[in-house]
């Protein structure tokens, strides 16, 4: 619930601006909501997200990236590199923490099949960039998307989000398959 309030506050704060992308993905045990928006007149993008696992707790993040095209032409590759500030709250005691993860994302659109794309992201924070009870943070995903409408993709993918804690083991917030939709407006 706390994650929904934080995400709602971030969305409310940006209500006067046009959104870039709203992303909703789920599997049988977890749901993730993300909102991404470019920073006006700069090659930067910020995003916020909330991931809830029914048994293992919540992971909330905010990120900022330098973004751009990696390759021009008929098969554009776009992406971004940046920082992700993550807060996790596992279901067991002593499973809370913060981490500053390094990473990025990319998207490849197939030539001659411009409705199909692959996108991926990877973020990692070792113990030196983790605090409170957290010792390590990882967030990885790869997704295969189909452009249903100009402003909407449907996708299926693999995702792994986990945090290790000093004295409380680890919490896996999302593993294996997920499906989702991404709306651009």
pLDDT tens, position by position, 32-88:
999 999 998 889 999 999 999 998 899 999 999 999 887 666 558 989 999 999 999
Q: Kindly report, residue by residue over 174-185, the tens digit of the pLDDT.
A: 888 999 999 998
How far CA 50 is from CA of 43, 45, 47, 124, in Å, comes to 24, 17, 11, 17
Task: Give the percent of the chain with pLDDT over 70.
Answer: 86
In the predicted structure, residue 8 carries a pLDDT above the cut 80: no
Q: What pTM, to 2 d.p., does this model score? A: 0.86
Position 10 scores a pLDDT of 43
Q: Lowest-pLDDT range, 81-90, 97-106, 110-119?
A: 110-119
Asked if 47 and 62 count as a contact pair (C-beta separation under 8 A), the reply is yes
Q: 184: which DSSP letter?
A: -
- CB neighbour list of residue 184: distance below 8 Å, 6 or more residues apart: 20, 21, 151, 152
Number of neighbouring beta carbons within 10 Å of residue 159: 22
Position 16 scores a pLDDT of 39
Position 176 scores a pLDDT of 87
Position 74 scores a pLDDT of 59
Q: Domain-by-domain residue ranges, the chain? A: 2-183
> Domain 2-183's class?
mainly beta
Model confidence at 9, pLDDT cuts 50, 70, 90, reads very low
**Closest CA relative to residue 160, chosen from 32, 62, 34, 5:** 32
Position 35 scores a pLDDT of 97
79 vs 99: CA distance, rounded Å:
22
Strands (E) across 96-169 are located at 96-109, 116-125, 130-132, 134-149, 152-165
Mean pLDDT, rounded, of the chain:
87
In the predicted structure, residue 113 carries a pLDDT above the cut 60: yes
Q: Kindly report, residue by residue over 127-147, the tens digit of the pLDDT.
A: 999 988 899 999 999 999 999
CA dihedral 45, 135, 138, 152 (to 10 degrees): -50
Number of neighbouring beta carbons within 10 Å of residue 89: 17
Q: 74: which DSSP letter?
A: S
How far CA 28 is from CA of 39, 156, 174, in Å, comes to 34, 13, 10
């Amino acid at each position: 619930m706390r994650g929904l309030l934080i995400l709602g506050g971030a969305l409310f704060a940006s209500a006067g601006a046009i959104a870039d992308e709203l992303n909703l993905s789920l599997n049988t045990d977890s749901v993730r909501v993300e909102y991404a928006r470019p920073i006006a007149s700069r090659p930067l993008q910020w995003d916020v997200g909330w991931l809830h696992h029914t048994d293992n707790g919540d992971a909330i993040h905010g990120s900022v990236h330098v973004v751009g095209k990696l390759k021009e032409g008929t098969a554009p590759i776009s992406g971004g590199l940046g920082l992700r500030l993550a807060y996790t709250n596992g279901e067991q005691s002593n499973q809370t923490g913060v981490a500053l993860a390094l990473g990025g994302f990319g998207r490849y659109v197939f030539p001659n099949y411009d409705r199909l794309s692959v996108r991926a992201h990877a973020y990692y924070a070792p113990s030196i960039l983790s605090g409170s009870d957290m010792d390590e943070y990882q967030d990885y995903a790869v997704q295969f998307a189909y452009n249903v409408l100009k402003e909407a993709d449907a996708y299926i993918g693999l995702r792994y989000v986990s945090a290790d804690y000093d004295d409380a083991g680890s919490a896996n917030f999302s593993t294996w398959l997920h499906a989702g939709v991404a709306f651009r407006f």
